[in-house]
């Protein structure tokens, strides 16, 4: 008992400190200092949550920009995040990329297979990437402008406004958040429907 009692007491103290107190402090500080991020970076439209700025979703309508393909579950499943794990030489991946290139060139007038950006035909490691490259956005400008009855310049202006530069000017690559861009399109006019995966 001489050794058991201190061991039990130490275990209880550590559980209280590391299992209860520390998580509560971290959560409290997170919600106080980074409230939006701590709550999932959720985006609202007309009082309804339409998605998260950090989780991609699928858009099927020609009125919206499309993001990267998803290999997460049945696609953009946040509970089943993950990539395809297929090697570059895997026949299934090669065929899937070929089909995606064909579909993209058919849906986007005036575009040829050699102009398809790689991020529009390959899934990210998480399958939930919410962003695309500026080149991937430019590839879709003509289609979106035509579907919305807007000029290509108007759409390009929205793309530019929703393009984030490299962090601190040197880290990462310029990128466009697809959901935020589509919400900006809805706000600019051309459609009254809400931007979400059902459209």
Residue 73 has pLDDT above 90, yes or no: no
Stretch 188-197: mean pLDDT: 54
Q: What is the pLDDT of residue 173?
A: 94
Ranges of each domain in the chain: 1-39, 41-188
Distance of alpha carbon 166 from alpha carbon 172, whole angstroms: 5
- Whether residue 127 contacts residue 58, with contact meaning beta carbons closer than 8 Å, is answered with no
For residue range 81-138, list pLDDT tens digits in order.
988 889 999 999 999 999 999 999 999 988 999 999 999 999 999 999 999 999 999 9
Helix, strand and coil percent figures for the chain, each rounded to 5:
50, 10, 40
Q: What is the pLDDT of residue 190?
A: 54
- Quickly list DSSP for 118-167: GGGTS--SSS---EE-HHHHHHHHHHHHHHHT--HHHHHHHHHHTEE--B
Residue 194 has pLDDT above 60, yes or no: no
Q: What is the pLDDT of residue 191?
A: 47
Of residues 80 and 117, more confidence is placed in: 117
For residue range 15-68, list pLDDT tens digits in order.
999 999 999 999 999 888 988 888 889 998 888 999 999 999 999 999 999 999
The SS3 call for residue 21 is helix
Residue 193 has pLDDT above 60, yes or no: no
Q: What is the pLDDT of residue 198?
A: 43
């Amino acid at each position: 008992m001489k050794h058991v009692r201190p061991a039990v007491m130490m275990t209880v103290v550590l559980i209280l400190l590391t299992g209860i107190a520390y998580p509560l402090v971290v959560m409290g500080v997170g919600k106080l200092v980074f409230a939006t991020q701590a709550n999932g970076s959720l985006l609202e439209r007309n009082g309804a949550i339409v998605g998260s700025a950090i989780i991609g979703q699928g858009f099927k309508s020609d009125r919206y920009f499309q993001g990267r393909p998803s290999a997460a579950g049945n696609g953009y499943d946040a509970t089943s995040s993950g990539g395809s794990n297929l090697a570059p030489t895997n026949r299934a991946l090669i065929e899937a990329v070929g089909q995606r290139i064909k579909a993209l060139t058919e849906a986007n007038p005036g575009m040829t297979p050699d102009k398809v950006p790689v991020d529009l035909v390959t899934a990210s490691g998480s399958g939930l990437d919410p962003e695309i490259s500026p080149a991937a956005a430019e590839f879709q400008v003509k289609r979106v402008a035509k579907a919305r009855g807007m000029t290509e310049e108007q759409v390009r202006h929205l793309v530019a406004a929703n393009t984030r530069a490299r962090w601190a000017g040197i880290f990462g690559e310029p990128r466009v958040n697809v959901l935020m861009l589509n919400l900006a399109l809805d706000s600019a006019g051309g459609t009254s429907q809400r931007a979400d995966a059902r459209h």
